[in-house]
């Protein structure tokens, strides 16, 4: 069994309104020195295959469903 983490994040230059709103809320709560907040999705996937197959499968999952290639990038890490 292989466990994989697939991290999906917005590409550089793409607006992140959820991150911006979270930053504002944190500042309203009195937190200081926050330079930025960005949102990230993390998927943990368990696969019953060898590591090379798992890497390829996760790459395909990311391209076909999990990430929007126009505005998001992804990274696959096997555990």
Give pLDDT tens digits for 49-67: 999 999 999 999 999 999 9
Q: 53 — phi, psi (to 5°)?
A: -65, -40
Closest by CA to 79, choosing from 13, 1, 21, is 1
Give pLDDT tens digits for 4-34: 999 999 999 999 999 999 999 999 999 999 9
| Strand 40-47 to 2-10 pairing | antiparallel
How do the domains of the chain map onto residue ranges? 2-78
Under CATH, which number does the domain 2-78 receive?
Answer: 3.30.1280.10
Give this prediction's pTM.
Answer: 0.88
Q: What is the DSSP string of 46-63?
A: EESS-HHHHHHHHHHHII
């Amino acid at each position: 069994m292989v466990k994989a983490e697939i991290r999906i994040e917005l590409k550089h230059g793409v607006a992140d309104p959820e991150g911006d709103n979270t930053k504002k809320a944190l500042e309203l709560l009195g937190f200081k020195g926050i330079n930025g907040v960005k949102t990230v999705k993390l998927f943990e996937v368990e696969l019953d295959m060898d590591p090379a197959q798992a890497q390829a499968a996760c790459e395909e999952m990311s391209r076909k469903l999990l990430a929007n290639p126009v505005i998001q990038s992804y990274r696959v890490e096997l555990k």
